[in-house]
Amino acid sequence: MLLKRQLNIKVLDLCNAACSFCGYNKERLAARIRSGHVAYKLDVGALQRSYSALRAKGIGILHLTGGEPTLHPDFRELVTSAKRAGFQIRTGTNGSVLDEDLVKALADAGVDYLWYSLDTFPFRKHLEHRGFLSLEAKMLRGIELLHKHGVNFFGQTVISHILPKTDGLPDMEGHLEYYRRELGIRRFVFSYPMHRPDSASTAHLATLGGDAVSFTPSELAAIFNRLVALKLRGGESAIVNPYVSIRQQQRDLAKASDRLGCHAGRDIFFLGPDQTTLRPCYHHSDQVVDDLDGLPLKASRGYLGCKDCRDQCFRDPSLAYAAAERPWDFARQAWEDPGMLALAARDARDVFVNRGYRHA
């Protein structure tokens, strides 16, 4: 395969924020625990003993998520050991516990990608939404430290009704401009609205979004059009979402044919709660793809064709895998949708000339 396989790992359920659109909201999670939900915490030692088995499956990227992953007591050891073992590390934070020691540890380990959640603007409104107003000075200092130590970080924003509105839609442009001007954050990735109250799994409570991320199809179409326009405009802020991934969301809304599907279970996986199995993704965590037996991934297995989520964490890299690993399928879809090929060319150009996706 051309690209490294990615394993998404839930580090723990715990979160100290009160985001209205997330099932990991500290009040919601506490209520679930009182109702019998067993809170999850990764056994870092067991994962470290699985590194060789993961490499045997072709996995080269570990995406550490939560809850709030930095709250895990062994988070620094996890990042450091995984980098030492040769994995790329992608992770994120709400910024509430960042201090000089933690940021320096992330920088020294060489974290490849860190997203920093920012729900809305101005920053105090974001802090109010998360219940972090009392931490304002500490969190501003944390962002300064990320800049100071050169951590490759992005602002990460769920497209939601929490954002101010422009012409009835979330003001993504104002969001970008505010954080570039006020906090020096020039790179953003937008998560597509996640709202699956009918079938959300306890493996991924963030899907229990509620009204804050509930949009009509016409609103979503307008949001995706605006996102493409913002990327095309360029400027001093970079939007990291690939053009082809946004295009795929637009095609899904239009019920157009899909020859690409999702690569969950083939090139992108979720570590099962038992830490001995690979599952397709959070949304289908009850299905086992393969065991961590130290043998190569069984070539006949895969989980293509699913469109159950439009979560950026899965769909965006999945499109990249499809273009690289299944070029004929990608070509067939591009034949049906010539705009897809033009956008893929823009994505390739943007990566080649950097465009803010990584530190120069």
pLDDT digits (tens, 9 = 90+) for 49-107: 999 999 999 999 999 998 899 999 999 999 999 999 999 999 999 999 999 999 999 99
Give the per-residue pLDDT at 37. 67
Measured distance CA(28)–CA(160) in Å, rounded: 19
Q: pLDDT (tens digit, 9 = 90+) per residue, 246-292?
A: 888 888 888 888 887 788 888 889 999 999 999 988 778 888 999 99
Backbone dihedral angles phi then psi of residue 47, each to the nearest 5 degrees:
-65, -40
pLDDT for 203 beyond 50: no
Architecture of the domain defined by 5-352: Alpha-Beta Barrel (3.20)
Query: By the 8 A CB rule, do 76 and 103 touch?
Result: no
Distance, CA of 270 to chain centre: 13
Give the per-residue pLDDT at 197. 47
**Mean pLDDT for the chain overall:** 86
Give the per-residue pLDDT at 101. 95
Band of pLDDT at residue 194, cut at 50, 70 and 90: low
Between 281 and 186, the more confident residue is 186
H/E element holding 247? helix 243-253
Give the per-residue pLDDT at 360. 46
Residue type, 359: H
Between 284 and 303, the more confident residue is 284
- In angstroms, the Cα distances linking 22 to 28, 29, 200, 204, 209 are 9, 10, 12, 10, 5
Q: Which residues of 150-175 are buried (b: 16+ CB within 10 A; e: fewer)?
A: ebbbbbbbbbbbbbeeeeebbbbebb
Band of pLDDT at residue 312, cut at 50, 70 and 90: low
Q: pLDDT (tens digit, 9 = 90+) per residue, 128-168?
A: 999 999 999 999 999 999 999 999 999 999 899 999 999 99
